[in-house]
Each structure stands twice: as C-alpha cells, then as structure tokens.
Structure 1
Amino acid sequence: MTTTQAPATHAPTGTRRRGSLEPYLYLLPHAALFFMFTVYPIGYGLYISLHRWDLLNNTQTFVGTEFFRNLFTSGTPQFEFFWRTLWNTTFFTLVSVPLLVAAALGLAALLHRPIFGRTFFRAVFFMPGILTVSVMGILWRWMFDNQIGLVNAARDLMTGAPPIAWLSTEGLAWVPIVVGTVWWTVGFNMTLYLAAMSNIPHSLYEAAALDGATGGQQFRFITWPMLTPITLFVVITTALASFQLFGQSLVITNGGPTRSTQSVIQYITEEGFTNSQISSAAAMGFVFGLMMLVLTAAQFRLMARDVQSTEEK
C-alpha cells in the first residue's frame, strides 16, 4: 500500500523576509536611543580626549594620548589631584558600603518581624531617600556646623565641651558626609532586603524551630544564605553609587578642607568647567569609567561564585 505525501508548502518570500525583520523593528527604537545617548557621547568624548579642545577655536589640534599620559606622569597637576581625589572616593566607598549593607540588613531583620507600627517605621526609614542631594547636604551641613550645628549644641548641652570644627578638620569632615549618606540611602537597601526576606519559605523556620534552632542560628543558617543573591546586588549597586560621590561632598564640605573630601567626579567637573580643560576632563572620565568596569566585573565574578556555592549546598 502506497501513501502519497502532501507537497511541502513554502511561505511566500515576502512573508519570510517580513518575519525575519520584525524582531529588529521592535528593537529599533531602543537601539536608536542607545546609540544616540550612549554610543555617540562615548565616541565623541574619546574624540575630545585625543584633541586639544578649545571652545573658542574652530580648529582642534590632535594631540593623541597626551592627556592620558598626564594622568600617569608624576609631577603634573592632573596626576596629583586625580589620584588623590580617587583615593578620597575609594575611602568613602570602603567606609560607607559596609555601613549601608549592615544597617539595611539590620533594619530589615527588625522590621520583618510582626511588631507594632512596623509599616510606619518602614516609611520613616525610607522617606529620606526621596530628598534631593542638595536638601540632604544642606541639612547635614547645618547639623555639623562648626559653631551653630545641632551636634555641637547637643555636646555643649550634655557635657559643656567646646564645639568641634567638623567641617574644617581633615578626617572629621568625612563624618557628616558618611553619616548623612547612610541616613539618606539606607532605606532603599532596607526595602530590597525586606522583599527578599518575604520570599523565604516560612516552613524552613518552622522546621529549624522544631530542631531547636535559636533565632540567631536561624538567621545564620537560613536567612543569610538565602539573601546571598540580593546581597550581591546591594553591594554592587551601593559600591557603584558610592564611587559616584559628588553632591554630598560638594554641598556639605565643598571638597575641603584642602581637597581632603573632594571626590574624583568633583575634580573632573572642576577640571572641565572651572579650569576649562575639557580634553583633560574627558581623559579622566574614560580612565575612571574603565576602572568602574573592572571593579564591577571583579565584584560579579567573586560574589557570583559565592551565590553558586550557596545554591549547590
């Protein structure tokens, strides 16, 4: 018995071509905006960094990597101030990130419990995050003012001690910046941790309680391992945000005293718009951007390994 096979049908050529192009048409708006606001500015910034850019001159002289070499040549102002402000920014990041992660995790652990008024307290800790950096900076500058600040007034009231020059003393000037930043941004990380904690199955805690595990043991062996992925996200985003320090140091201390709290982005802005060295500022921006890419890749690699090992367990 023979069977006849139905002839294969082929879609019209126009239909196939339209079907193959359709996904790209959906991507076209995003691709156009991406090239317009990301690729083109990066390419144009690289072009500026390779020329001696003068806004009052129509002819821009090509100088190659001169402005990049200045950043790695000892004795140039760019070398001195760029690396000094980069260290300032790194110091701020090393201090603020652990505080922001630990404070957010602690607040989330407290407010995840069914306590009275927890919704109110969640809102209280989150609300500072809606303030602009200028409002936040003015508030904490006043709090730590050398003469009339609330902190010095409280010290005088309680101990009669003389006022401390917080804003004009190297080292101490970081205190209002760090404390103000933690107060300003801890609510966002707290909300992320609260959302992650709500997704942990309650049956794990019930089983641990039946086995006699204490609250601390439950946090150590259940909560903390289950929070590893969100901790990865919090650490990376907080570190990147800390390296972008600008408004806090500008408003609270204006980078002083003697540039001890000036951030690298603040110095790049000064170089470009105050000193009118646009090409030098563009070169600094590229070097700093590459450092951030390397830092992000390293953080993902190290912490993703921890996430994978936790999932395997």
Structure 2
Amino acid sequence: MSTALPRRRPGYGQLNDSNPLVPYLYLLPHAIFFFVFVIYPVGYGVYVSLHRWDLLSESRPFVGLEYYRALFDFSTPQAQFFWKSLLNTTFFTVISVPLLVATSLGLALLLNRPILGRAFFRAVFFLPGVLTVSVMGILWRWIFDNQIGLVNAIRTDLFGNQPIPFLTTEGLAWLPIIIGTVWWTIGFNMTLYLAALGNISRSYYEAAEIDGAGTWAKFRFITLPLLAPITLFVTVTTVLASFQLFGQTLVITNGGPSRSTQSVIQFITEEAFTNYQFSSAAAMSFVFGLAMLIFTYLQFKIMARDAKGGS
C-alpha cells in the first residue's frame, strides 16, 4: 500500500515555485521608491550638470564637462570658493570627529559604572540630540555672542575683561560651531557605546584581575579590542555626518567671517538657490559626492583592517 502523501496545492503562506516573477513582485514596491527618489534625481542631476541650465531660457545647450573643468580652474570664483569651503568642512571634520568619538567613549565608560543617578545623567547627555539644528544654533550663537553672550558676560561681569568678538573673528568663530556640535550629538554615540559595553562579559575582566591586570591594562587589552566594531561604525557615521555640516554654520555664523566657516554644502546651496547657477551646483555636488565615497571607502578599509586585527 502506497504511503505517499498527496501533493499540496500552493496556498496562503506558500510561494508558487512555478512562477519565477513572484520574488520580483515582492521587490517591486522598494524598486519603485528607489527609482523615484534615488535613480531619477541622480540621473537628472547628471543631466543638469552637463547642460547650461537657465530657468529663464528655453535653450539649455549641452556643454559636456565644462562645469566640472571649471572647478579645477582656480582663476574662477566658483573653484576658489568651492575648494575653500571643502577645506573648511574638512577642518571641522578633523577637529570634531576625534572629540565626538573620544568624549562619547569616556562618558559611556563613566556611566557604565554603578553610580548614583546613572539613568538621569544618561538622559541629560542624550536630550540635546532631540533639538533641531535651528534651536541648537540659536542657543550657541547667543552663548558666544560678541556683546551679550553668556561667555562674554562672564568675562566682563566677573573678571572685568573686554568682550571677545567670537562670531566675527576668523578661527574663533569655529568655537561655537564645534563645541555646540559636540554637545548636540554626543548622546547618540554615547548610547551606542553603552549598549556595546553592556554586551561585554564580566568573565573577561575577572580573568584579567586574577592575572593581576590593572585598570589601564583591562581597558587597553579587553575593552578597546571588543569595542573595535562599534568604534568603526561610530567613526564612519560621524565622519559622514560631519562632512554634511550645514545648519550649524548657517545659523551660528552664516559662513562668516569672510567665508572662513562656510561649509561645502552651504556654498553649493548658495550657488544653486542664490546665484541660480544650477549646473555649476550640480557639478559641485557630484565632485563632493565622489570625494566622499573615496574617503569613506579608504577609511572603512583601514579601520576594518585594524578592527579585525584587534579582535
């Protein structure tokens, strides 16, 4: 007597293997959104950068790589301002990223200890991250205001010193931007480190204590290597966010003084929506995007190799 079970017909929860289009139907909604919001805008941007785009003219002739070549002709204002703003953004990234990574790690190590009010302090350091960039910018612009700011009020009222024109002095104008950004975003990285520290088994530290390891040895040979993957993630995402600097400089200094704090995205926005040079702005966007891709790829390769070696 045959014991073979009858073949079930495909029903609810079962895929019909005879139709090869079924998997693609599941991908179709995402593919539509990806095309509408990624592929089409990027393709249209490339098209704009290759034509002389004038909103008041019906003729938009093809000019090829003219606007890309102009970015490397340093006799033009566009090239000078673009590379200066890119240098400003790079300076901000080089200064702010180590501060954000090191300070968030330090806070996470402190708040990972069983101290009184630990949950309260975690909330205090995380709360600034819920503010919008405009609120954060207005707050730190007031703190470092040339005349009525909190810093200058303390200097003049308590110590009798003359006020310092932070917002109109090259170099000093970066202080409210960098300090404000660290204060504003440190909570997110701190939370990531706290989650990673919570996953480290206590048995590693107990074994190290038996071998006579001190606090620094445990941090160097246990904590840091085990935090290498999250440090890679935090560093890469912080670098990407820092290169997207825009709101802080716009609200706090408006790119001044003398464009010394103008970010590259701020200049691209000015080129497009103030000067109405859409083709030039599109070319700048793609050059900046390409530089970001190369930098991120190299950074990820180097740090991933170090993290793998450390683990």
TM-score, normalised with respect to structure 1: 0.93
Q: Paired residue for 1:270?
A: 270
Counting only pairs closer than 5 Å after superposition, residues 24-39 of structure 1 correspond to structure 2 as 24-39=24-39
Deviates more, 1:56-65 or 1:289-298: 56-65
Three-state SS of the structure 1 residue aligned to 2:308 is helix
Deviation at 1:309, TM superposition (A): 1.1
In 2, the alpha carbon distance for the partners of 1:212 and 1:159 equals 49
Task: Map 1:230-249 to 2 at 5 A.
Answer: 230-249=230-249
Distance between the aligned counterparts of 1:187 and 1:213, measured in 2?
31
What is the aligned partner in structure 1 of residue 137 from structure 2? 137
Query: How far is 1:54 from its partner?
Result: 1.1
Give the aligned partner of residue 158 of structure 1: 158
**Shift of residue 266, structure 1, vs aligned partner:** 0.3
Answering whether residue 210 of structure 2 is matched by residue 199 of structure 1, we say no
Q: SS of 1:167's equivalent?
A: helix
What SS class does the counterpart of residue 213 from structure 2 fall into? Answer: coil
Match of 1:113?
113
Q: Give SS of 1:61's match.
A: coil
Q: How far apart are the structure 2 equivalents of 1:157 and 1:207? A: 55
Q: Are the structure 2 counterparts of residues 115 and 15 from structure 1 closer, same or farther at C-alpha, using a change threshold of 3 Å?
A: closer
CA RMSD of aligned residues (A): 1.6
Which residue identity does 1:310 align to in structure 2? G
Give a deviation string over 1:187-241, Cα, whole Å, max 9, x none. 0000000000001111101111122211221111110110000000011000010
Question: 2-side partners of 1:191 and 1:157: how far apart?
Answer: 38
Per-residue deviation, residues 251-297 of structure 1 (Å, max 9, x unmatched)? 00000000000000000000000000000000000000001100111
The answer on 1:146 being equivalent to 2:115 is no
User: Contact 2:140–2:176 (CA<8 Å) still a contact in 1?
Assistant: yes
Q: Check conservation: 2:16, 2:22, Cα contact below 8 A.
A: no
1:126 aligns with 126
Q: Distance in 2 between matches of 1:17 and 1:70?
A: 56
Q: Which moved more, 1:188-197 or 1:201-210?
A: 201-210
- Larger deviation, residues 21-30 vs 142-151: 21-30
Equivalent residue, structure 2, for 1:44: 44
Offset from partner CA, 1:79-132 (integer Å, 9 cap, x none): 100000000000000000000001000000000001000100000000000000
Partner Cα distance (1:22, 1:204) in 2: 49
Question: 2:279 matched to which residue of 1?
Answer: 279
**1:109-165 deviation digits (Å, cap 9, x = unpaired):** 000001000100000000000000000000000000000000111122332111000
Q: Output aligned runs, 1:71-86, within 5 Å.
A: 71-86=71-86
Give the Cα separation in 2 of the matches to 1:15 and 1:114.
55
The CA distance in 1 between the partners of 2:101 and 2:92, in whole Å, is 14
Shift of 1:15: 4.5
Task: Report the secondary structure of 2:187's partner residue.
Answer: helix
1:55 aligns with 55
Q: In structure 1, how many angstroms separate the alpha carbons of the residues matched to 2:107 and 2:161?
A: 32
Name the structure 1 match of 2:179.
179
Aligned letter for 1:102?
A
Whole-Å separation in 2 of the counterparts to 1:131 and 1:141: 15
* Structure-2 residue corresponding to 1:3: none
Residue of structure 2 equivalent to 1:255? 255
Runs of 4+ more than 6 Å apart: none
CA contact (8 A) 2:128 2:187 kept: yes
Q: What SS does the corresponding residue of 1:59 show, helix, strand or coil? A: coil
Greater mean deviation of Cα atoms: 156-165 or 196-205: 156-165
Contact residue 128 and residue 184 of structure 2 kept, 8 A: yes
CA distance in 1, matches of 2:22, 2:94: 48
Gaps of 5+ in 2: none
User: 1:57, CA displacement in angstroms?
Assistant: 2.1
Q: Which residue of 2 aligns with 1:95?
A: 95
Which shows bigger deviation, 81-90 or 26-35? 26-35
The whole-number CA distance in structure 2 between the counterparts of 1:16 and 1:248 is 54
Q: 5+ unaligned residues in a row in structure 1: which ranges?
A: 1-5
State the alpha-carbon separation in 2 of the partners of residues 205 and 34 from structure 1.
47
Alpha-carbon distance between aligned partners in 2 of 1:17 and 1:54, rounded to the nearest angstrom = 53
